[in-house]
Structure 1
Amino acid sequence: MDQRLFQAALTGDIQALHELLVEDPLILERVDLAPVSDTPLHIAALARKNEFAKEMIRLKPSFASEMNIDGFSPIHMAFANRQVELVKVLLKVDSSLANFKDRSERLPLHLAAMRGRIEVLGVLISACPEPA
């Protein structure tokens, strides 16, 4: 992934993201095709940059279902980091994201429960009760 895109995701710089898109309109397509460990959405979710993450979902919704090299999807990261707002956005994109398992066969629900993330558990159960 382009280091500037990584840095924009890490810092939540939406303006830098749009400048990169003007410079290279296919930059997100290249990330999608390349064997990378994390998409910009993974980075933003991990760094708690919710506004950037929401913009990334708007621009490239397919990133919501990408698994990184560790087997985590952005929703796993959002659950683990108590990002209730981002969890809601991701579930609106695709409620089946709640059923994505990591490499250890854990659902986002499991990660949230293991870490005592009660607030995100409630979001999951109300949005998608099947895994519960």
Structure 2
Amino acid sequence: MIEAARTGDIASYPFVLQPSAGHIDFMMEMINLKPSFARKLYQAGFTPMHLALQNNRIQAVLRFLKFDEGLIRVKGKWGLTPLYHGVRTGDADLLFKFLDVSPEAIEDVTVFHISVKDMFEAFQVLVGWLIRSRHEAAQRWEKEPMSWEDIEGNTVLHVAAIRNRPRVC
């Protein structure tokens, strides 16, 4: 770390900020000193929050949320957000926490499509959250996500039909 600071080698910083090392307090202090580190894409196109999710460091993820709720919507490699990770793992508690702090993250089109493809339980959580949401855009969100198209032009209903997911239909 000292060598990275001395030489200005920004590529070394992800190792300092990597929550998998278990040094969450140190990582958060570094981000407090230089907030832009939290949004920077590092190893293979991921932010420290993405890396924390990949390493199942939920306490680090929660600290990131307290630091900056907007981190949920930062797109990493392939345009994927941390909410996408919550969908892929089917972690309902994490999905609810993400949606509580950033309801607008529901507008990330891929989360519905991915949940239909790979994780029906996550789809149920997302739809249930939409139904119960008191957000000013909730009525619009109840209708629109099913008509949003992914990069291949498929709506959620198309994906459900292609993947033979009658419960989604």
Shorter-chain TM-score tier = 0.7 to 0.9
1:43 shift after superposition = 1.4
Matched, 1:75 2:107: no
Matched, 1:30 2:37: yes
Q: Which amino acid aligns with 1:67?
A: K
Cα distance in 1 for residues equivalent to 2:62 and 2:111? 19
Matched, 1:53 2:55: no
What percent of counterpart residues are identical?
14
Is the contact between residue 87 and residue 114 of structure 2 (CA under 8 Å) also seen in structure 1?
A: yes
Q: 1:1-132 alignment to 2 at 5 Å?
A: 1-6=13-18, 8=19, 10=20, 13=22, 16-22=23-29, 25-32=32-39, 34-36=40-42, 37-101=45-109, 107-115=110-118, 117-129=119-131, 130=142, 131-132=145-146
Q: How high is the TM-score relative to the length of structure 2?
A: 0.61
Change (3 A) 1:24 1:38: closer
Change (3 A) 1:22 1:30: closer
Change (3 A) 1:110 1:57: same
Q: How high is the TM-score relative to the length of structure 1?
A: 0.76
Cα distance in 2 for residues equivalent to 1:93 and 1:52? 16
Q: Which amino acid aligns with 1:61?
A: E
Q: Determine helix, strand or coil for the equivalent of 1:67.
A: coil
Aligned residues: 120
Q: Which amino acid aligns with 1:5?
A: L
Is the contact between residue 53 and residue 86 of structure 1 (CA under 8 Å) also seen in structure 2?
A: no
1:84 shift after superposition = 1.4
The RMSD of aligned alpha carbons is 2.2
Which residue does 1:104 correspond to in 2? none
Cα distance in 2 for residues equivalent to 1:121 and 1:80? 10
Unaligned runs of 5+ in 1: 102-106
Higher Cα Rg, which structure: 2
Is the contact between residue 20 and residue 27 of structure 1 (CA under 8 Å) also seen in structure 2?
A: no
Cα distance in 1 for residues equivalent to 2:114 and 2:37? 30
Q: Determine helix, strand or coil for the equivalent of 2:79.
A: coil
Greater RCO (CA < 8 Å, at least 6 residues apart): 1
More helix by share: 2
Cα distance in 2 for residues equivalent to 1:55 and 1:22? 11
Is the contact between residue 41 and residue 47 of structure 2 (CA under 8 Å) also seen in structure 1?
A: no
